[in-house]
Amino acid sequence: MGLATALPAGGGRGPGALELGGLLEDLVRVHRPARPLGSVPASIPHLAGVDFSRFGIAVATVSGEVFSAGDAALPFSIQSISKVFSLALALGHDGGGGLWQRVLREPSGTAFNSLVQLEAEGGIPRNPFINAGALVVTDHLIEAFGDASGEVLRLLASPSGRCSVNEEAFASELARSERNFALAHFLADLGNLRNPADAVVRHYVRQCSVEMSCADVARAGLFLANDGVGPAGRVVSPSVAKRIGAVMLTCGMYDAAGEFAYRVGLPSKSGVGGGILAIVPGVCAICVWSPRLDAHGNSLAGTSALAELTDRTGWSIF
Ligand code: GLU
């Protein structure tokens, strides 16, 4: 791929605008699933019915352009991608105000919804992207804002005006949230929850039930590639943006952060709805979505498409 000036790229590599449009179309052709390989999350009945062949990808650049291909305009369930935005809100509000005393910044090495680790480690979750850690972040946001999930939705919607809760998905997940309730009660028992477990889980599940398109998620995540400034203005300081990227790199891909860093090489966060938000610092935010998941809960086709994208563009932090 030749050099071009239309799009800034890490280390002077990367495609120009025209080439990027063609590249994304290529990725759709190659990676859109032809067969229903992989799994859907058992704990969220609503997601089981999503067409396995969906595949969308969008790139929002720091220069204000959005490139997209495939099903990039279709809303999907962002699930745990929302955890990046709740963390940004918590850290942006008052520098975190003690949050980092209540949750660590280490990869978990266990499933994202593990109870065992939380008990063994005295109620301090390993990181804000596993469920226990995200529940602590939500608890923090309830103290800071009251309407925690409403505030997360406002941040997600700020660049595009588009972001809504799928009420059916919310109800179906809440009805199957025994594990999240168990985690919240454990946190409360171990002194790391300040609001009622019921309220914390409701706000948490609500932010997970947000539906947005790849194009809108990429726009919403752009502040992470742009020193904390998104299309609608500053979200966090440059240093907080850098640190959220670090937590994404080490903890954003469930128990496959090492494998994903090896294959893709970008700070990323995935959700069990099959979406992945990836950040190319100084260049762009990428969102890819395809609903079928690998054994770790990451989108199968989304991961392979990002691996090819970063190979072909040179977009990697390594
Ligand atoms: N709402 C899901 C849960 O709490 C999110 C899981 C995910 O996307 O990692 O289980």
Task: Count the Cβ atoms, other than its own, within 10 Å of residue 248.
Answer: 25
What is the distance between the alpha carbons of residues 39 and 281, in angstroms, rounded to a whole number?
A: 31
- Beta carbon of 79 within 6 Å of any ligand 1 atom: yes
- Taking phi first (over 0 means left), then psi (-120 to 50 degrees means alpha), and beta for anything else, what does residue 317 get? alpha
- Please give the distance, rounded to the nearest whole angstrom, from the Cα atom of residue 271 to the centre of ligand 1: 7
Among protein residues, the one whose CA lies closest to atom 2 of ligand 1: 79
Query: What is the structure's pLDDT at 96?
Result: 76
Task: Indicate the range of 59-68, 77-86, 101-110 predicted with least confidence.
Answer: 101-110
Instruction: Say if CB 110 and CB 120 are below 8 A apart.
Output: no
> Which of 158, 159, 180, 183 is CA-nearest to residue 170?
180
Q: Assess whether pLDDT exceeds 80 at residue 16.
A: no
How do residues 123-141 score in pLDDT, each as one tens digit? 999 999 999 999 999 999 9
Q: Assess whether pLDDT exceeds 80 at residue 14.
A: no
Average pLDDT of 14-24?
Answer: 84
Which residue's structure tokens are 């080439």?
A: 19
Instruction: Say if CB 66 and CB 215 are below 8 A apart.
Output: yes
How does residue 7 score in pLDDT terms, banded at 50, 70 and 90? low
**Vertex 289, ends 272 and 307: CA angle to 5°?**
100
Q: Assess whether pLDDT exceeds 90 at residue 158.
A: yes
Q: Assess whether pLDDT exceeds 80 at residue 10.
A: no
Domain 81-208 belongs to what topology?
Beta-lactamase (3.40.710)
From the alpha carbon of 43, which atom of ligand 1 is closest?
10
**Collapsed DSSP state (helix, strand, coil) of residue 164:** strand
Handedness of CA 190, 196, 198, 203 (dihedral sign): negative
Q: Assess whether pLDDT exceeds 70 at residue 54.
A: yes
- Please give the distance, rounded to the nearest whole angstrom, from the Cα atom of residue 73 to the centre of ligand 1: 22
The DSSP 8-state label assigned to residue 3 in this structure reads -
Q: Assess whether pLDDT exceeds 60 at residue 6.
A: no
Size (the chain), residues: 318
Q: Assess whether pLDDT exceeds 60 at residue 306.
A: yes
Q: Assess whether pLDDT exceeds 50 at residue 4.
A: no
Residue 122: exposure state from Cβ atoms within 10 A (0-12, 13-18, ≥19): exposed
**Which of 39, 43, 46, 80 best tests ligand 1's pocket when mutated (most atoms within 8 Å of CB)?**
80
From the alpha carbon of 273, which atom of ligand 1 is closest?
8
**Which of 131, 179, 255 best tests ligand 1's pocket when mutated (most atoms within 8 Å of CB)?**
131
Q: Assess whether pLDDT exceeds 70 at residue 66.
A: yes
- Are 17-79+211-313 and 81-208 in the same CATH fold? yes
Q: Assess whether pLDDT exceeds 70 at residue 8.
A: no
Q: Domain residue spans in the chain?
A: 17-79+211-313, 81-208
Average pLDDT of 32-40?
Answer: 96
Active site members: 80, 83, 204, 254, 272
Query: What is the structure's pLDDT at 2?
Result: 30
Which pTM does this prediction carry? 0.95
- Which CATH code is given to the segment(s) 17-79+211-313? 3.40.710.10
Residue 75 corresponds to which tokens in the numbers above? 């809303």
Give φ, ψ of 284 to 5 degrees. Answer: -170, 165
